[in-house]
Chain A
Amino acid sequence: MAKPTIVNRMRVLILAAHPRTVQSIAQRAMSRALEGIAGVTLRDLYALYPDFNIHAETEQEILLAHDLIVLQHPFYWYSAPAIIKEWLDIVLEAGWAYGAGGTMLAGKYLMTAISTGGRADFYHAKGRNRFTIEDLLAPFNQTAHLCGMAYLAPFVVYAARKQSAGDLATAAESYRQLIEGFARGKIDPTEHLAAGYHLPDGFKRRHAL
């Protein structure tokens, strides 16, 4: 059921982070699935900054040129690999992304796209990991909120290493459809907000430069 275009196209920035691309299975499949989609920029942070010397100005310029920022990474230690944290610390400066005058990201969208080792049922109050994925991703949720952004529901590939090649291909394909839908304006991001997420006060979609 192809709905007519109801929203504007989005320019999508994928910030991919995997310290050992050779050993990744899900992450490589996800990145490959996005190849060739117009309006999608993929940046491999570990390749760009092997010495962690992240260049804030470059990153900020690129952020301004996009509407949707996707943090795509394995779910290490219930969080992101180190370079994602470094990227947040360096790039999201006070007065630029948050704090007085820090409105450069307001009106944009943030999403995480992760692959986990544990099965979906582990991420439950009664499960082995005791918290839901949403609970564990709370820091990213609040980061988006502080920056005046809309936080979208995470895309999760569970038990990435246990999946058959076919299942993995299916997962990668649905990831591609989601991102392409955002990029081509086929999917309305406001209908994809994370569960229970309230848009920051005065949120208004601002188009990329």
Chain B
Amino acid sequence: MSLNDFLLGSLLYLAAAVISAPIAKRLGLGSVLGFLAAGAIIGPSVLGLVGNEGEAVKHFAEFGVIVMLFLVGLELEPSKLWQLRQKIFGLGLLQVAGTALVVGAASLVISSGWRESLAIGLILALSSTAIVLQTMEEKGTLKTPVGQSVFSVLLFQDISVIPMLALLPLLAVASAHGGDDHSASLIAGYPVWAQALFTIGAVGLVLVAGRYLMRPLFRIVADTGTREIFVAFALLIVVGITLLMGLVGLSAALGTFLAGVVLADSEYRHELEMDLQPFKGLLLAIFFIAVGAGIDFSLIASGPMLLGLSLTAFILLKLATHFGLARLFGLNGPDTSRFSFALAQGSEFGFVLITFCAGLGLLTGDMPGLLTAVIALSMAAAPLLMMLDEKVLQPRFADGDFLRDHDAVSHSGADVIIAGHGRFGMTIGRVLNAQGKRTVVLDLDSSQVDTLRRFGFKVFYGDALRLDLLEAAGAKEATVMVIAIDDREKATELVKIARHNFPHLKLLVRVFDRSHAYDLIREGVDNVYREVFGSSMDLAKDALMALGVHPYEAQRTITRFRALDEKLLRTSAAHANDESKLIDLAKQSRAEIARVFAADKGGGQTPPDVAWHDDDKSTP
């Protein structure tokens, strides 16, 4: 490929990405669907702008999936991963086995026998890590409990590809053709025990190097102060692991994921995330475009009935299996729906398995083409299905089942909605509950929610910024909303949402510091509470007392100081961007405080016993 061809190809892919993503976002479709559609349009079946190199591009862009899993790993500390073990090996195993059996059994209708059906089942059991993770990350649902369940299943699927590659040739032994050996790994020639040893050694190498070697190396690289070298080193790690895993025939995504987990508690985590994020985004965009371009519309045209039925049956069977599993694992109504819809598509790795199985002679006739089309179309349908769940099904849960699932009584006509139930919001909730006020608590930290529930608090997992959730929580009937979210931008955003949609709500907002307080005061919120102001006043009072100041004097001092400072805060809010004015106001306030306390000490207004001299005719 000449340089000009390469540049022309890049131009097409990048242009498709740049044009499609904003349109898709504007339409509320999410970028993944935009990329897929753009790919379909520039692909051979429609405009034909890109052609056969699509496969090669796709393989190149699959590297984006690997980078993505590295980044996912970075977000997941080892202890957190350990907490997920039950979901990964329980829910994950059952998902793969269950879906393989159900889909495989159904495929007996069109397959040549149970061997082919089992292969079909295994191929279709996988879901698209790239689409699901990208979509959930965009919506911010990846860290929710259901997001963790979905992720666990995807992780197990990634692991399960390795035994599948080992198992499928065995399945093919009795069939007509002896399969080609598709394993590209260098160690294929060795006996099984040696292969196992190499594999364990490679994983061990990643873990040990990640733990002990990477940090000093990162320190050296970071010390150069050159950002490019840091980026290059980060890419070097990911590429290196990808190649190493390829050598021993392991999933590169799995390897980089593990490396990410090992580095999750390193001090370079955030820098790595920031540096690799653009690569991941760009590569995934190209990957999705390539998948879109790969959809063979001529095949759809030649057998629309069979393809349509297969696709529908596949999606429905997968949904049904997932529903059953989610219920079995105790997910609630809305989460069951989210989980099922999120995973109801084929996997990019399915394409690889199809080629592999076709080579083994496990798939015969038109089957590879049909499966390829089913997977590609189901991937294209995936964002739409997730949207169907979010826009149509979830609101219904919110209206009815969701509330009944928990505690309907405590909700209807709640007096107070508390958004954010961390150490700040929790205290508020306890006080209000002590007074018998009905509270609805929304929090986004799932472990926090679970813990508080065990302690008997009525806490609900959910993003308070979601309008449907606020309505379900009773924002229309409530009197007060306490905003104690641990994120200043989100708190400000929630203030805007609440003021716009529920103007009757009295907003009491925890703020982080002065500048955050300024933002919200100018947003029209009267009741702002600096999170550590109260406790610093308490400490100041105790410090005064420790210095021998009488407790009542100390109490009065902090009460007055507090009032004066609150006054300064409110006058300053109007001039938050004018530093010289702020300095002026602070000086004025200091002078006022000094005057007030000087007066208190004896000069001006004095307590009755000082003024009541017997010769002072002006006093009683």
Chain A interface residues (CB < 8 Å from chain B)? 19-24, 46-48, 50-51, 74, 76-77, 115-119, 122, 129, 159-162
Contact = CB atoms under 8 A, between A and B. Distances in A.
A47 B148 CA distance: 55
Given A51-B555, A118-B614, A24 B550 contact: no
Interface of B: 550-556, 602, 606-614, 620
B114 to A, nearest CB: 79
A115 B607 CA distance: 14
Contact of A47 (B551, B556, B602, B614): B551
A184 to B, nearest CB: 31
B87 to A, nearest CB: 50
18 contacts: A20-B553, A20-B607, A21-B550, A22-B550, A22-B553, A23-B602, A23-B609, A23-B610, A46-B550, A46-B551, A47-B552, A74-B609, A117-B608, A117-B612, A117-B613, A119-B614, A161-B613, A162-B613
A160 B552 CA distance: 23
Contacts of A122: 614
Given A19-B552, A50-B552, A77 B614 contact: no
Given A23-B602, A117-B614, A159-B614, A76 B552 contact: no
Contacts, number: 55
B550 A76 contact: no
Given A23-B602, A159-B614, A117 B609 contact: yes
Given A46-B551, A117-B608, 8 more contacts: A46-B550, A50-B555, A51-B555, A117-B612, A118-B614, A161-B609, A162-B613, A162-B614
A24 B609 contact: yes
Contacts of B554: 50
B525 to A, nearest CB: 27
Contacts of A159: 614
Contacts of B620: 77, 129
Contacts of B552: 19-20, 46-47, 50
B550 A160 contact: no
Q: Which of B556, B607, B609, B610 has the most CB of A within 10 A?
A: B609
B617 to A, nearest CB: 9
A46 B556 CA distance: 11
Contact of A76 (B556, B608, B613, B614): B608
B614 A20 contact: no
Contacts of B614: 117-119, 122, 159, 162
A74 B555 CA distance: 21
Given A117-B614, A122-B614, A162-B614, A76 B551 contact: no
A182 to B, nearest CB: 26
Given A21-B550, A22-B550, A46-B550, A76 B609 contact: yes
Q: Which of B552, B553, B555, B614 has the most CB of A within 10 A?
A: B552
Nearest to A47: B551
